[in-house]
Amino acid sequence: MYNLDLTPYIDVVGKFSRVKLIGRVTQVIGLTIEVRGLHAFVGEVCLVYAKPDEPPVAAEVVGFRDSHVLMMPLGNLSGIGPGCQVLPTGKVFSVSVGPHLLGQVLDGLGKPLNGDAANGGDCCPVDNDPPNPMERQRIKEVLPTGIRAIDMFLTCGQGQRIGIFSGSGVGKSTMLGMIARNSEADVNVIGLVGERGREVKDFLEKDLGPEGLSRSVVVAVTSDRPPLMRIKGALVATTIAEYFRDQGKKVMLMMDSVTRLAMAQREVGLAIGEPPTTKGYTPSVFALLPRLLERAGTAKTGSITGLYTVLVDGDDFNEPVADAVRGILDGHIVLSRDLAAKNHFPAIDVLQSVSRLMPDLANREQQDLAGSFRDYLSAYKDAEDLINIGAYVPGSNPRVDRAREYIDGMKAFLRQGIDENDTYMASLERLGNLLRGE
């Protein structure tokens, strides 16, 4: 049989523009827009023309029901009604990235919140695949954070991902600001997902400061924004971090908080008909978390060190999101409400926290000192009630006796002022002097 070469014909056909079918809005239920007569794919951005004299509203396809396309807005639903035209763009949501973003505060769509237009940069899709595990470099270098309790007992490596678990009002944002100012990362990318509007400027001016902002990119999506926009905020922050990582930079990605991201995804899932599971979280929540968190880490060049805060519900550290995140990350830092109530900042519970990579990163001297410190702290905690009521008899337990001798110095070592910054080697020297009684 004679085979006809179709290449020339395909090339000619490809020069013609494709016909785009225009859909019509049939109904709006909650935050879900149902559209009929549209050919689109999941993740495609479409334009909903609500009023002739106003710009269209961007919406993203999130699912399908029968012959209807389900969308969620990336803006305000005001003005949208039955019969509104919907035009597909054929593109997924993308954001402009580049060095021009340093020092800027962006919204969930990557647009500057101060109103200034972003200049230049490359356009990158926000939903990217994590790096190939065989192309990841092993984590071998320490990334000092400037916080003694973390550097000495929860040593963080370049490209490590750590969760910060705590209830509300225990000092997560303040600690993130300290790390952004004092860490040895080249670039900070900070994602404030579902944050209170009042706290955004407080964080920028009080916690981060001009020095920290100058080498940072902040993506702030307040709690009043649509759930899809809150999700995009987390993806935009991660995409910006990936850009700087690919430039060979040491990037510190901070996200506050993963719990609010999971809540936003739960809103989307329930709106499109997903079945709820534990505490109402839908299956898509537990599919989103590993896909997002695995994008941080090392790659062929550069690294993204991830710090993800988890707002535990009712101080329950075994609630579904906390449990899922803890199983994905390379360590967890637990902030204690009891320590915060005693004016102990940062309120890090060293005994409940762990860095899975510390044995590979810390030298033998530091590991021995940190082990002794934990041992004394644990011994004192076990006997603290007896000591406080005067029932402990000195000499009955040598470990407790040594712990009582060191406890004041140990508590002082774990406390750190907001403006206090200790280098890694200075912290190690101070720890050694403490436990040697010097």
pLDDT tens column, 168-221: 888 888 899 899 998 889 999 999 999 888 888 888 888 888 888 889 999 999
The confidence score (pLDDT) of residue 5 equals 47
The confidence score (pLDDT) of residue 6 equals 44
The confidence score (pLDDT) of residue 173 equals 86
Q: Would you call the peptide bond into 346 cis, given omega within 30 degrees of 0 as the criterion?
A: yes
Tokens representing 161? Answer: 């991902």
Query: Residues 295, 297, 370, 341: what is their CA dihedral angle, to the nearest 10 degrees?
Result: -40
User: Residues near 181 by Cβ (< 8 Å), separated by ≥ 6?
Assistant: 146, 208, 209, 211, 212, 421
Determine contact, residues 218/101, Cβ cutoff 8 Å.
Answer: no
Determine contact, residues 310/176, Cβ cutoff 8 Å.
Answer: no
Determine contact, residues 164/175, Cβ cutoff 8 Å.
Answer: yes
Query: What's the CA gap between 294 and 304, in Å, rounded?
Result: 10
Query: Residue 117's pLDDT band (boundaries 50, 70, 90)?
Result: low
The confidence score (pLDDT) of residue 17 equals 53
User: Residues near 249 by Cβ (< 8 Å), separated by ≥ 6?
Assistant: 186, 187, 302
What mean pLDDT is predicted for residues 48-75?
88
User: Residues near 379 by Cβ (< 8 Å), separated by ≥ 6?
Assistant: 397, 399, 400, 402, 403
Query: Residue 12's pLDDT band (boundaries 50, 70, 90)?
Result: very low
**CA angle, 269 then 271 then 272, to 5°:** 70
pTM for this model (two decimals): 0.90
Residues in a beta bridge with 311? 166
Per-residue pLDDT at 236 exceeds 50? yes
The confidence score (pLDDT) of residue 437 equals 67
Neighbours of 346 (CB within 10 A): 25
Share of the chain above pLDDT 70, in %: 93
Query: What's the CA gap between 125 and 137, in Å, rounded?
Result: 24
**Higher-confidence residue: 342 or 17?**
342
Mean predicted lDDT score pLDDT of the chain? 88
Per-residue pLDDT at 315 exceeds 80? no
The confidence score (pLDDT) of residue 392 equals 86
| Nearest one of 291, 315, 317, 295 to 305, comparing CA atoms | 295
Choose the weakest-confidence range: 32-46, 104-118, 251-265, 386-400: 104-118
Query: Residue 1's pLDDT band (boundaries 50, 70, 90)?
Result: very low
DSSP states along 22-88: PEEEEEEETTEEEEES----TTEEEEEE--TTSPPEEEEEEEEETTEEEEEESS--TT--TT-EEEE
Choose the weakest-confidence range: 49-53, 141-145, 343-347: 49-53
DSSP states along 353-374: -EETTHHHHS-HHHHHHHHHHH
Choose the weakest-confidence range: 117-121, 179-183, 330-334, 345-349: 117-121
Query: Residue 349's pLDDT band (boundaries 50, 70, 90)?
Result: very high
Q: What is the DSSP letter of 19?
A: P
| Nearest one of 309, 359, 356, 314 to 334, comparing CA atoms | 309
Share of the chain above pLDDT 90, in %: 60
The confidence score (pLDDT) of residue 312 equals 87
What mean pLDDT is predicted for residues 144-149?
93
Cα–Cα distances (Å) from 142 to 7, 104, 204, 355, in that order, read 55, 28, 27, 12
The confidence score (pLDDT) of residue 307 equals 96
**Higher-confidence residue: 347 or 31?**
347
The confidence score (pLDDT) of residue 421 equals 87
Determine contact, residues 205/174, Cβ cutoff 8 Å.
Answer: no
Tokens representing 154? Answer: 């929860």
What mean pLDDT is predicted for residues 254-261?
92
User: Residues near 282 by Cβ (< 8 Å), separated by ≥ 6?
Assistant: 265, 266, 269, 270, 274, 275, 276
The confidence score (pLDDT) of residue 2 equals 44
Per-residue pLDDT at 322 exceeds 70? yes
Strands 68-73 and 32-36: antiparallel
Q: What are phi and psi of 344, to 5 degrees?
A: -100, 110
Helix intervals (H) in 74-226 = 148-153, 172-182, 197-202, 209-214
The confidence score (pLDDT) of residue 14 equals 52
